[in-house]
Chains A and B, each alone.
Chain A
Amino acid sequence: MTMATMNDTVATTTAPVKRRSFGRDLAGLAVILALAAIGYLLFPNNLALLTRITAIALLVLSLDLVTGYCGVATLGQAALFGSGAYAAGIAAVHFGITDPLLMLVSGVLGGAFAGLVCGVVILRAHGLPQLVLSIALIHLFHEFANKASSWTGGSDGLAGIAPDPLLGLFAFDLWGRTAYGFGIGLLAVVFALLRLIVRSPFGMLCRGIKEDPIRIRAMGASPRVAIVKMYVLSGAVAGVGGALNAISTQVVGLDSLSFTLSAESLVMLVLGGTGSLFGALAGTIVFMFFEDIVSAANPFHWLTMVGALLIAVVLFAPRGLYGTAAAFVARRREAGR
């Protein structure tokens, strides 16, 4: 076979694979925008909740990068989110940086730095000790923010964040329309970038590390360096979520650096399905709405119901809601062939 015909066969066999993933990118973006529009039409008076869901979705996406794609066990992901939120808030309150895009940049840098710190520390251990390190880290971050009250407002929270109008045109209004639109725009951009990154050579390297780090070392690549890099990216994504939260609520509380938020984000990820960006989004939306509806319907036993939902998913759909649905569709397609 000559080189030219060989390249042709390679090209023809790979073209459908490429087309399919590009189609899924567009479908994913379309779903995000459609859900955002539906949310806006259904809950015009509760855009704050929808914006909060968007910010948490960014947190869960960031967790998926390290847990779903690299196999790192962590219960401290809110450290990245909260650092982003505080960085954006402190930039506004203490340095007068009130342009929302500059606050966003501060959040991204704050989150990425926290990601670097957490990554370097957490990767010292594996398995259970790793999980314990992550819990220790989130408590340290929380306590640090609590004690540095002249900067963070301590347990009262960091108040007085007054972002300028977005691009000088759209003021952050009382109904939260600007914040919601800003949030959905950020989510769409981050989602599109992450879709590219998880398919890139680096994304492939991380999937390999998750499956067999020893094999990756035998290929001459350092799993640790790669995962720390992923942690920095994860921190940047969580930082976007944190900054969005700071900008939209105009306050940053210690709860954004809490163990509870870390654990909840892991619950959401498992609920939706790890190792897939769609799973992270699905888990966040289902969990947050379920929590909102059930806690309003039954304020005393809502946590029990959240627990029951999670047990049901883990027992009957161990790959998560999205993962199970995707596997079902794949089987049907296979059977149809």
Chain B
Amino acid sequence: MSAIFEVRNLKRSFGGLAVTDDVSLSMAPGDRVALIGPNGAGKTTFVNLVTGNLKADAGDVRIGGESVTHIDAIGRVRRGLVRSFQVTRLFHEMTPAEHVALAVLQRDGRAGRLFGHFLAMPDVMAEVGDLLGKLGLRELMHRRVSEIAYGQQRLLEIAVALALKPRVLLLDEPAAGVPQSDTGRIEEALADLPADLAVLMIEHDMDLVFRFAKRVIVLAAGAIIFDGTPSEVTRDQRVREAYLGSYANASHAA
């Protein structure tokens, strides 16, 4: 299948230190890829480069075959590259229904409309109800976000991303900060993601990575050191060294 998302020879350095060092990867619709790596491997920088929040020194990013390297972050979202945030970024005074409705309206180019109310737009409300229902947030749709549990806020974060109908979804540690008892609901939500959506998940929790991903990419010191199946990754010598090395350095420093 042709690639929906491609990164070619992406480079970025800060003051001589290559934080993203010639990274290339390609994803097809329906791919479930996990991006892992020790702390400081450059995962966050990679996400910022890909989403257009940081300018790359060199390289190319393509969505659906179209180069978006010179397109800003907002333009990339509009072309179907959507991200979720590691720490939830939601509007605390607004309701889940308003979040999803705003995303739907924005996606359809209707967020600038000066009249009308989303509650009176049956097509929007049908989508809002459907999406929040799938994620088990239906009962809470008119509560304020500040009143709902953190695990539910993480689910809402996913709902907002899905409401934008992405072609490529970057999930930045979707289960971060969620109590162990609630991660099951998030895993279910991840398992139910649309089949044709390409998903790249950045995650620390290896259990979640192994259950979710069909392919694992390991980043260390800004470069890809492994790209293969979950079963291979545990046996890979370089990956072990990268992780052990970082732990060894950490304990040495301490």
Using CB atoms and an 8 Å cutoff, list the residues of chain A in contact with chain B. 1, 3, 6-7, 9-11, 13-14, 17-18, 21, 196-197, 199-202, 204-205, 207-208, 211-212, 214-215, 217-222, 226, 229, 233
Contact = CB atoms under 8 A, between A and B. Distances in A.
B164 interface: yes
Contacts of A7: 122, 125-126, 129
Bin chain B's interface residue count.
Answer: 35 or more
Nearest to B139: A13
Contacts of B51: 218
A217 B73 contact: yes
A205 B112 contact: yes
A220 B102 contact: no
Interface SS of A by simple majority: helix
B115 A200 contact: yes
Contacts of B83: 218
Nearest to B119: A14
Contacts of A3: 126
5 contacts: A18-B119, A200-B114, A201-B113, A218-B85, A221-B111
A200 B113 contact: yes
Contacts of A1: 133
A201 B126 CA distance: 16
A212 B111 contact: no
Interface of B: 51, 73-74, 77-78, 82-83, 85, 89-94, 97-98, 101-103, 105-107, 110-120, 122, 125-126, 128-130, 133, 141-142, 160, 164
B112 A226 contact: yes
Given A17-B142, A215-B91, A218-B83, A201 B119 contact: no
Contacts of B85: 215, 218
Contacts of B97: 14
B118 A204 contact: yes
Given A204-B102, A218-B85, 12 more contacts: A7-B129, A9-B129, A10-B126, A14-B142, A204-B94, A205-B105, A207-B94, A212-B89, A218-B73, A218-B77, A220-B164, A233-B114
Given A6-B133, A219-B102, A226-B112, A13 B141 contact: yes
Contacts of A212: 89-91
Given A208-B91, A211-B92, A219-B160, A18 B120 contact: yes
A208 B92 CA distance: 9
Contacts of A226: 112
Contacts of B107: 220
Contact of B74 (A10, A201, A205, A222): A222
Given A6-B130, A10-B129, A201 B105 contact: yes
A199 B114 CA distance: 8
